[in-house]
Amino acid sequence: MIEVKSLSRHYGDFLAVDQLSFKAKQGEILGLLGPNGAGKTTTMRMLTGYLPPSSGTALIDHHDIVRDSVETRKRIGYLPERVPIYPDMTVRGYVLFWAQLRGTKEAKSRTDMVLKQFDLYTRKNTLVRHLSKGLKQRLGLAQALVHDPPVLILDEPTIGIDPQQVIEVRDVVKELGKQHTILFSTHILTEAEEICDRVLIIDHGRIVAQGTPQQLQKEIYSTQYYVQVGGGKTADVRALLQSISGVAEVSAEKDGFLVKSTANEDLRAAISTSIVSAGYTVLEIHQRRSTLEDIFLAAIKAAPGAQAGKKAKR
Amino acid sequence: MDTLTIFRREVGSYFTSPFAYFIAAGFLLFCGILFARDFQEAATQTTTINPAFIPAVISFLMVFFAPLLTMRLLAEEKREGMMELLLTSPASESSIVMGKFFSAWFYYTILLALTLLYQLVLFAYAPPDIGHTFLAYLGIWLYGGAMIAIGLFFSSLTENQIVAAFLSMITLLILYIGDAAGQVIGNIDIARVIRSLSLQGHFSTSFQVGILRAEDVVFFAGIIVLMLYLSIRTVESHRWR
């Protein structure tokens, strides 16, 4: 549904997006994850037709964003980072305006439908300026959805609203992901983990890692095991664990040890066997999952040229 | 179609914000005071009533009021981030700019229509020449459209409404006094060029005195088309930056 082909964008000398390529299937929620200034907003602005790419292109529902801009714009619902509003319009007037401007069929009934969907119908005659920040965010989503676009592009939709509203927005996005292809940017890692089917980690305009949140955990970060051993002196057990092939590092933690593996293979069997054959007992052993946060930092560190790009930051 | 959607929203916003009412009140107050004075003079002395009096007043008032009407049109959209959503909708740049222009011109037309009240007063006491009145109003209507188009252009250049208002006010003032400057310059050819470039020069000696000349209509229409074209190009240029 979205197919990005080596998309690049310069601002003067600064390379904001560098040869980005990715795809999103129909009904997929794709997360763009990266620190501020990583190129998330620039990428989204190019896909929505607000900024022309310096080079490369992208297809939205088989339409080229450069050659066929108007057709792609019809197929996208966009929620910018800051929801722009006309303060003097009513809630209904605002959504209806966007519906009409985007050529929605039966704009009025469609408007009422999305207002009901986002619980704004009871406030349809309220002036937009009187809405709270969370409600404005919902209004932004209603606006993006009113013409029923196959693709939704949401730029950090959970910034600056309270935790209750964040949860609401996340639930809404998850629900929408069943029918729409969603490109969703965030710099909050747990959010990407919770919502997205697939995550692209970008930094300095390049993809540094991608995959499902589960895949990323496997691929990038070495697996860790927490092991608690009954019997034996600490130093002896540590030496024993260290001697197992595939173990990179052993450190003491609480009442047990944290064992890091070098490769991405399951060491639990090997660990328990050697402990038992040395005459000790295994009290506890479990694999410790790395969080997306760890993955993120590891990915950024591992990416070549990550340091070089820093000077050019805006 | 998109132009109409933008136009309707924009006109709606004129009538839902107090700002537009303040402008209208100020505008009509000025016209009213000056009309009352002129009317009184005509009644007590033996000067004749000039049906183009109010249009002539407006030609000067609009130097200051047109920028107030137009400064927010595009500048505010950019500052509030609305331009980002507008440009990512299927609406074209020209429909955005035209919708905005026609809404401001429509609002001005309503203001102008309200001043017809003074002509009604004249009809009650000293019926003016209808042809003269009509031409003066047609002239000031076109003149106002050109001024609004100029203001719109400056609004497209900046995100700052004050800057937009200031630049268009200065420009309109120069285009207003160009008429007088043309009359005091010794060299007749230079004077003629300056006068024919000024907005006022196409009003004060034609429409205002009840003369219809094609060149004046073309001049005002040309300014409108040129300014709209430049505004559209400026809005488009946001995409290439």
Interface of B with A in 12-31 (CB under 8 A): 12-13, 16-17
Question: How are beta strands A55-60 and A63-64 bridged, if at all?
Answer: antiparallel
How confident is the model at residue A151, as a pLDDT? 92
How confident is the model at residue A35, as a pLDDT? 80
Token digits of residue A147 = 């013409």
% of chain B beyond a pLDDT of 90: 51
Same domain, A47 and A113: yes
Q: Which element (helix H / strand E) includes A176?
A: helix A163-176
CA-derived radius of gyration, chain A = 24
How confident is the model at residue A310, as a pLDDT? 41
Average pLDDT over residues A84-101: 91
Asked whether the beta carbons of A133 and A164 are under 8 A apart, the reply is no
Which pLDDT band, with edges at 50, 70 and 90, does A290 fall under? low
* Residues of chain B neighbouring A52 (CB-CB closer than 8 A): 239-240
**How many domains are there within chain B?**
1
Same domain, A214 and A226: no
Average pLDDT over residues A52-76: 89
Distance from CA of A90 to the nearest CA of B (A): 10
How confident is the model at residue B228, as a pLDDT? 96
Q: Closest chain B residue to A85 measured between Cα atoms? A: B82
Chain CA centroid to CA A33, Å: 4
- Domain containing residue A283: CATH number: 3.30.70.100
Domain extent at residue B84: 2-240
Domain extent at residue A62: 2-218
Cβ neighbours of residue A65 closer than 8 Å, sequence gap 6 or more? A46, A47, A49, A53, A57, A58, A59, A72
Residue A302 domain-assigned?
Answer: no
Distance from CA of A102 to the nearest CA of B (A): 6
* Residues of chain A neighbouring B1 (CB-CB closer than 8 A): 103
Angle between helix B18-44 and helix B53-79 axes, rounded to 10 deg: 170
Question: Pick from A70, A73, A97: which is nearest to B9 by CB?
Answer: A97
Chain B CB within 8 Å of residue A14 CB: no
Asked whether the beta carbons of A34 and A202 are under 8 A apart, the reply is yes
Chain A CB within 8 Å of residue B76 CB: no
Which pLDDT band, with edges at 50, 70 and 90, does A304 fall under? low
Question: Pick from A80, A97, A103: which is nearest to B84 by CB?
Answer: A80
**How many domains are there within chain A?**
2
How confident is the model at residue A222, as a pLDDT? 61
Question: How are beta strands A29-33 and A198-203 bridged, if at all?
Answer: parallel
Distance from CA of B91 to the nearest CA of A (A): 6
Q: Report the C-alpha gap between B198 and B147 in whole angstroms.
A: 11
Note the ipTM here: 0.85
Is residue B216 exposed (0-12), middle (13-18) or buried (19+ Cβ within 10 Å)? Answer: buried
Average pLDDT over residues B174-189: 82
Q: Please state, rounded to an integer, the average pLDDT across all residues of chain A.
A: 84
**Taking CB atoms and an 8 Å limit, are A84 and B6 in contact across chains?**
no
| The last residue of a domain, from among A218, A238, A259 | A218
Highest-pLDDT range among A16-20, A189-193, B231-235: B231-235
Same domain, A237 and A161: no
How confident is the model at residue A219, as a pLDDT? 65
Q: Report the C-alpha gap between A279 and A274 in whole angstroms.
A: 9
Same domain, A93 and A112: yes
Q: Give the residue, A216 or B38, on which the prediction is more confident.
A: B38
* Residues of chain A neighbouring B88 (CB-CB closer than 8 A): 48-50, 73, 76, 78
The owner of tokens 């006109």 is B11
Same domain, A266 and A156: no
Question: Pick from B12, B90, B92: which is nearest to A102 by CB?
Answer: B90
**Taking CB atoms and an 8 Å limit, are B90 and A89 in contact across chains?**
no
Same domain, A177 and A44: yes
Of A276-290, B8-22, B150-164, the range with the lowest mean pLDDT is A276-290
**Residue A307 scores a pLDDT above 50:** no
* Residues of chain A neighbouring B16 (CB-CB closer than 8 A): 88-89
Same domain, A207 and A228: no
Task: From B5, B173, B154, select the one nearest B73 (Cα to Cα).
Answer: B154
How confident is the model over A151-197, as pLDDT tens digits?
Answer: 999 998 888 788 888 888 888 888 888 889 999 898 877 788 888 88
Same domain, A276 and A174: no
Q: Report the C-alpha gap between B239 and B241 in whole angstroms.
A: 6
Chain A CB within 8 Å of residue B46 CB: no
Q: Please state, rounded to an integer, the average pLDDT across all residues of chain B.
A: 89
Asked whether the beta carbons of A247 and A241 are under 8 A apart, the reply is yes
How confident is the model over B102-111, as pLDDT tens digits?
Answer: 999 999 999 9
| The last residue of a domain, from among A200, A218, A236 | A218
* Residues of chain A neighbouring B80 (CB-CB closer than 8 A): 84-85
Chain B CB within 8 Å of residue A136 CB: no
How confident is the model at residue A311, as a pLDDT? 39
Q: Report the C-alpha gap between B4 and B8 in whole angstroms.
A: 6
* Residues of chain B neighbouring A100 (CB-CB closer than 8 A): 5
Chain A CB within 8 Å of residue B237 CB: no
Average pLDDT over residues A96-109: 90
Residue A312 domain-assigned?
Answer: no
Cβ neighbours of residue B144 closer than 8 Å, sequence gap 6 or more? B58, B62, B66, B105, B108, B112
**Taking CB atoms and an 8 Å limit, are B87 and A49 in contact across chains?**
yes
Same domain, A187 and A228: no
Question: Pick from A70, A89, A101: which is nearest to B5 by CB?
Answer: A101
Same domain, A212 and A228: no
Asked whether the beta carbons of A31 and A16 are under 8 A apart, the reply is no
| The last residue of a domain, from among A199, A218, A237 | A218
Q: Report the C-alpha gap between A241 and A130 in whole angstroms.
A: 63
Residue A306 domain-assigned?
Answer: no
Residue A204 domain-assigned?
Answer: yes
Token digits of residue B177 = 């006094």
Which pLDDT band, with edges at 50, 70 and 90, does A220 fall under? low
Chain B CB within 8 Å of residue A22 CB: no
How many inter-chain contacts (A to B, CB under 8 Å) are there?
Answer: 62
Residue A89 domain-assigned?
Answer: yes
Question: Pick from A84, A88, A103: which is nearest to B85 by CB?
Answer: A84
Token digits of residue A58 = 């992208």
